[in-house]
Structure 1
Amino acid sequence: MSDTPAILIVDDQEKLLKLVILLMNRLGFPDVEGVTDAVTALERMRERRYALVISDLDMEPMDGLAFLREIRADDALMNTPFLLTEASFDFEDINLAHQAGADAFILKPFDMSVLKAKLKQVINRKPRRREAPLAAESALSIDFPMLGKF
């Protein structure tokens, strides 16, 4: 197993899923998994720790917002950085996603420089806290050397 953190991509469109995995590999992330629905993604997240989730917004049966809410409600998963993707966002989408705990948004198709900037933004955010702070384990400290110092 490599030293680079694992990334989970969730998109119900198989071609886009493969494209995002390829883009992440090109950015220097060799350990990238992809699934085509949020239910499977949640199962994977409960089996393995991921340093980042990149999820489509518009999916069935569970959309990206419902998936995000499940992650943020789970103490073991709540600090997983989450990047939401979609072909277009309106103000309501962005507002709902922000309230649900999305760390960033990116429009499809991805521009490599925008994707890299969003990754840095998401990785640098402070860990979330519940009303009663959890053990130190809840704070993620992840090093992505391929993105350089930030």
Structure 2
Amino acid sequence: MRIDQNMPILIVDDYLQMLRIIGNLLRQIGFTNIDTAMDGAAALRKLRENDYGLIISDWNMEPITGYQLLEEIRADEELHDLPFIMVTAESKTEHVIAAKQAGVNNYIVKPFTAQTLKEKMELVFSDY
């Protein structure tokens, strides 16, 4: 399946370097319409003001974690269908299970490559 490379993507991470890394990986695989948020609260504000085709979020953030952001999105009538990829250093099985149960579309453990990101995105959009 071909993904729209002009699709707006929101990256959420409280670590500026990781925002840059993920943005660069997305550009490597052809995506250019990239926005960022430094935490879940900022992400929710942006999500309610703009249309995005995908959210890529870290798990560990304050004051709202990526997991809490996922729960908020899935509970929101306007946003609940938004594709969501969780990116985290948390590889514990219980975290993966919790994220799946909360409705995450895919899960990437850091560190990862542009190819891994592309494959995970293709899997997410093969379901749509």
Structure 2 distance, partners of 1:73, 1:94, is 19
**1:87: Cα distance to partner?**
1.5
Corresponding residue for residue 63 of structure 2: 61
Contact 1:18 1:34 in 2 (8 A): no
Contact 2:28 2:114 in 1 (8 A): no
- The amino acid that maps onto 2:51 is R
Give the superposed CA RMSD: 1.1
Corresponding residue for residue 44 of structure 2: 42
Equivalent of residue 116 in structure 1, options 115, 118, 124: 118
**1:88: Cα distance to partner?**
3.0
Q: Which runs of 5+ in 2 are unaligned?
A: none
Structure 2 distance, partners of 1:89, 1:124, is 24
1:80-135 deviations in whole A, cap 9, x for unaligned? 10000111310110111011100000011122221111000111224xxxxxxxxx
Structure 1 distance, partners of 2:117, 2:9, is 14
Q: TM-score, normalised by structure 2?
A: 0.93
What is the identity percentage for the equivalent residue pairs of Structure 1 and Structure 2? 38
Corresponding residue for residue 87 of structure 1: 89
Structure 1 distance, partners of 2:34, 2:16, is 15
Structure with max Cα Rg: 1
4+ long deviations beyond 6 Å: none
Equivalent of residue 27 in structure 2, options 25, 28, 31: 25
Q: Which runs of 5+ in 1 are unaligned?
A: 127-150
Greater RCO (CA < 8 Å, at least 6 residues apart) = 2
Q: TM-score, normalised by structure 1?
A: 0.79
**1:7: Cα distance to partner?**
0.1
2:74 is the alignment partner of 1:72: yes
Equivalent residue of 1:110, what SS? coil
